[in-house]
Amino acid sequence: MISLAGRDILHAWGKFLFTGLGLGLLIGVTLSMAGVYRGMVEDGRALIQASGADLWVVQQDTLGPFAEPSGLRDDLWRNIAALEGVAAAANVTYMTLQIHSDRHESRVMLVGLTPGDNRLPGWPRFLLAGRHISRGHYEAVADIASGFHLGETLKIKRHHYTVVGLTRRMVSPSGDPMVFIPLKDAQEAQFQKDNDSIIRQRHRTAANPVLSDSRVQTAVNALLNNQQQVNAVLVRLQPGAQRTRIAEHIRRWQRLQVYDNQQMERILVGKLIATAARQIGLFLVILSLVSATIVAFIIYTLTMDKIREIAVLKLIGTRNRTIAGMILQQALALGIIGFVIGKIAATFAAPHFPKYVVLLPRDSITGLLAVLCICALASLVAIRMALKVDPAEALGG
Amino acid sequence: MQKPDQNPQGILIEGLKKRYGQGETAVDALKGVHMQVAAGEVVGLVGPSGSGKSTLLKCLGAVIEPTAGRMYLNGKRIYDDGWLVDDLRALRRDRIGFVFQAPYLIPFLDVLDNVALPRMLAGEPNPQARSEAMNLLKALDIQHRAQAMPSQLSGGEQQRVAIARGLVNHPPVVLADEPTAPLDSARAMMVMRILQQMARDYQAAIIVVTHDEKIIPTFRRIYHIRDGITVEEAGEGRPLD
């Protein structure tokens, strides 16, 4: 038996191709949305892996430097580094802000690192160009996604920084590219107040009768302008060290919160990206419904156009299942055409997204199966209508 | 009236009735139709609108079931208790050929596959079905358009292809519903010649429903249907040459 669906598609290939193109663009958007979500998860994982840390020490009762504000004294790392089983501990600060050069402006996550030893946790693992930060001030390493170039001068708060190195795939959980600068500079950028605020604060202190002694005022102002804070201490353990025991020790004796990489990943994916994931999920549902409606409408219209032919087919003895099969095959073919176009569109569009888009083969297979299911369901209306066609319609009268 | 066992070939109808609706709104479209067409014979069925012509055609075509009466096809009783829709479908596929007023060819199949389709639907392998279809196309002198699509054919060519499709399964009965209506005189006569030749060659009983004054004189026998009752008349049997 010849394929009636195949012959019809070949006969009206333009109609199928253009309908498939429209459907394909919708599927492309759907795949891209899924890719954006995967990219967010991947960014979170890359952030944790690239840090080179085994443990993340943060302020007690907080979810760490990305999900909640965390403040620690910047000398705590010494106590942690001295623990048995700890290979290295390093302060780190994180702050999202808008920075610019003469040429370009970008929203970035500013990361403060202890300069001098690029093997410490928190440092970018590899560079695409240039070198690591080697001076204590005013040098920066930027993720290439920030758009900054090697040698470019960045203005961050009050100071200027020279980009000495470029790295890649170092982004925040929200997709902002990272710019690494020396810790002291980052602390200043994060905690230092502007001159007017400092003057107003001094006036308030001077006006307080309890603090009438000038030495007390000096001490209070110094405390209020304290910049000796970091957001987290990243800890690398020695091979074979007992992670749980060390984490528990820090929790108990340093009165701090400690997360390992798995816990950090759960925080990033489960809490930080959860809202975005729900939003993307809802978009996927809406796009699926729109796709189903389009396929149903197109297949219904194509079937309506063939009512007389269907009546003739039934009159000359075609089985209902042959006719239903023809419509189902056409719907599935439309879905496959749409999926191929959508997959190609999503693949070519992915590099142009501002966020990292990951198109996993697993997602593509799931997407294809979903498209085929949607098309099969969407064809039911047309099949129902075709099965209702009376063969007597071919005879007229 | 002849008994079916006395005329095993062709179609025999006895007291066929069809009622639409129930109670006071019931309409008797057929009130006891008697008809007999021998194998190899072409008869005309004429009648005004509303006479029951279409209902009779649908009963003959196994599209609707009659309310009462008997129908025999090559001596086999067709309408009986226990017929299922699937059986009627198989009956239409294997034992009844259809030729319509408009050719109603499947637009996405070429001429050869349009003709071969009923055999393919019956489960015959494609090469054999196409081979038989090609034989018919040759008989109808249209084999040179076998690979053409229906939209590339003239009206006369399309009707010849439709006739070939109606005959490809060698059905004992062919129902032709106004097959010459859209054609001019010359083409109408050509179609009638083909039908008569096919009836002879394939021993089919062909019933031509028509209003066409051009072809009515060509029938040897004509059934007039009025108010759901058929009356047989001798036709002129005018030669088609």
Nearest CB neighbour to B61, from listed A11, A308, A395: A395
Q: What is the pLDDT of residue A233?
A: 95
State the DSSP H helix or E strand holding residue A108, giving kind and residue range, or none if neither: strand A105-113
Whether residue A248 is found in the same domain as residue A142: yes
In terms of Cβ atoms closer than 10 Å to its own Cβ (0-12, 13-18, 19+), residue A215 is exposed
Helix (H, G, I), strand (E, B) or coil at A365: helix
- Listed in sequence order, the residues at least 6 apart from B228 whose beta carbon sits closer than 8 Å to its beta carbon are B18, B28, B29, B30, B31, B32, B33, B51, B52, B55
Query: Is B100 in contact with A312 (Cβ distance < 8 A)?
Result: yes
Range of the domain at A287: 4-43+275-395
Q: What is the pLDDT of residue B80?
A: 64
Q: Are β-strands A139-143 and A159-167 bridged in parallel, bridged antiparallel, or unpaired?
A: parallel
Spatial distance between the Cα atoms of B17 and B31, rounded to a whole number of angstroms: 5
In terms of Cβ atoms closer than 10 Å to its own Cβ (0-12, 13-18, 19+), residue A195 is exposed
Spatial distance between the Cα atoms of A60 and A70, rounded to a whole number of angstroms: 8
Quickly state the pLDDT bin for B232 (edges 50, 70, 90). confident
Query: Is A390 in contact with B106 (Cβ distance < 8 A)?
Result: no
Give the full edge-to-edge strand order of the sheet including B27-37: B27-37, B11-20, B68-73, B76-77
Q: Quick check: A187 and A180 in contact, CB under 8 A?
A: no
Q: Which two tokens stand for residue A98?
A: 């808008």
Query: Is B108 in contact with A314 (Cβ distance < 8 A)?
Result: no
Q: Is B240 on the interface with A (CB under 8 A)?
A: no
A264 in any annotated domain: no
Query: Is B100 in contact with A394 (Cβ distance < 8 A)?
Result: yes
Nearest CA in chain A to B177: A395
Quickly state the pLDDT bin for B1 (edges 50, 70, 90). very low
CATH number of the domain bearing residue B221:
3.40.50.300
| Torsion angle (degrees, nearest 10) of CA A167, A169, A171, A176 | 90
Q: What is the pLDDT of residue A174?
A: 80
Q: Which two tokens stand for residue B51?
A: 């006479």
Q: Is B108 on the interface with A (CB under 8 A)?
A: yes
Instruction: Please tell me the total count of domains within chain B.
Output: 1
Whether residue A159 is found in the same domain as residue A109: yes
Instruction: Please tell me the total count of domains within chain A.
Output: 2
A205 in any annotated domain: no
Which DSSP category does A54 fall into?
Answer: S
In A, which residues are within 8 Å of B108 by CB distance? 4, 7-8, 10-12
Nearest CA in chain B to A8: B108
Does residue B4 surpass a pLDDT of 80? no
SS3 content of chain B, % helix, strand, coil (to 5): 35, 25, 40
Spatial distance between the Cα atoms of B115 and B133, rounded to a whole number of angstroms: 6
Interface test with B, best of A316, A319, A387 (most B CBs within 10 A): A316
Q: What is the pLDDT of residue A65?
A: 87
Q: What is the pLDDT of residue A396?
A: 64
Whether residue A382 is found in the same domain as residue A306: yes
A373 in any annotated domain: yes
Phi, psi of B235 (to 5 degrees): -95, 175
Q: Quick check: A295 and A336 in contact, CB under 8 A?
A: no
Whether residue A31 is found in the same domain as residue A118: no
pTM comes to 0.75
In B, which residues are within 8 Å of A322 by CB distance? 121
A37 in any annotated domain: yes
ipTM: 0.82
How far A9 CA sits from the closest chain B CA (Å)?
Answer: 8
Whether residue A99 is found in the same domain as residue A239: yes
Whether residue A188 is found in the same domain as residue A125: yes
Q: Quick check: B223 and B189 in contact, CB under 8 A?
A: no
What's the pLDDT tens digit per position in B16-60? 899 998 888 888 899 989 999 999 999 999 988 888 888 898 888
Contacts 24+ apart (CB under 8 A), B218-221: B218/B189, B218/B192, B219/B42, B219/B43, B219/B44, B220/B41, B220/B42, B220/B43, B221/B41, B221/B43, B221/B44
Spatial distance between the Cα atoms of B152 and A64, rounded to a whole number of angstroms: 74
State the DSSP H helix or E strand holding residue B30, giving kind and residue range, or none if neither: strand B27-37
The residue to which tokens 């209508």 are assigned = A385
- Mean pLDDT, chain A cut into blocks of 10 residues (397 residues total): 88 88 90 88 85 92 87 90 93 92 91 89 91 93 93 91 93 88 90 79 81 76 73 94 92 90 88 83 87 85 88 88 92 92 93 86 91 90 91 74
DSSP for A88-100, please give it. Answer: EEEEEEEEEEEEE
B240 in any annotated domain: no
A121 in any annotated domain: yes
Quickly state the pLDDT bin for B81 (edges 50, 70, 90). low
Q: What is the pLDDT of residue B101?
A: 79
Whether residue A157 is found in the same domain as residue A289: no
Whether residue A105 is found in the same domain as residue A240: yes
The average pLDDT across B87-99 equals 84
A267 in any annotated domain: no
State the DSSP H helix or E strand holding residue B234, giving kind and residue range, or none if neither: strand B229-234
Q: Which of A260, A238, A230, A236 is nearest to A248 (CA)?
A: A260
Nearest CB neighbour to A395, from listed B57, B90, B94: B57
In B, which residues are within 8 Å of A315 by CB distance? 61, 63, 92, 98
Q: What is the mean pLDDT of chain B?
A: 85
State the DSSP H helix or E strand holding residue A283, giving kind and residue range, or none if neither: helix A274-304
Whether residue A231 is found in the same domain as residue A339: no
State the DSSP H helix or E strand holding residue A41, giving kind and residue range, or none if neither: helix A13-51
Whether residue A145 is found in the same domain as residue A75: yes
Query: Is A395 in contact with B63 (Cβ distance < 8 A)?
Result: yes
Whether residue A104 is found in the same domain as residue A248: yes
In B, which residues are within 8 Å of A305 by CB distance? none
Range of the domain at B176: 4-234
- The B residues from 111 to 150 touching A (CB cutoff 8 Å) are 113, 117-118, 120-123, 126, 149
Query: Is A7 in contact with B108 (Cβ distance < 8 A)?
Result: yes
Query: Is B121 in contact with A8 (Cβ distance < 8 A)?
Result: no
Nearest CB neighbour to A8, from listed B101, B108, B121: B108
Amino acid occupying residue A284 = L
Does residue B7 surpass a pLDDT of 60? no
Query: Is A10 in contact with B108 (Cβ distance < 8 A)?
Result: yes
B241 in any annotated domain: no
Distance of CA A87 to the CA centre of its chain: 31
Interface test with A, best of B117, B151, B177, B208 (most A CBs within 10 A): B117
Spatial distance between the Cα atoms of A345 and A338, rounded to a whole number of angstroms: 10
A262 in any annotated domain: no
A211 in any annotated domain: no
Whether residue A297 is found in the same domain as residue A181: no
Nearest CA in chain A to B175: A395
Residue B77's DSSP bridge partners are: B72
Query: Is B121 in contact with A319 (Cβ distance < 8 A)?
Result: yes
Q: Which of A373, A390, A385, A334 is nearest to A17 (CA)?
A: A334
In terms of Cβ atoms closer than 10 Å to its own Cβ (0-12, 13-18, 19+), residue B213 is exposed
Nearest CA in chain B to A308: B104
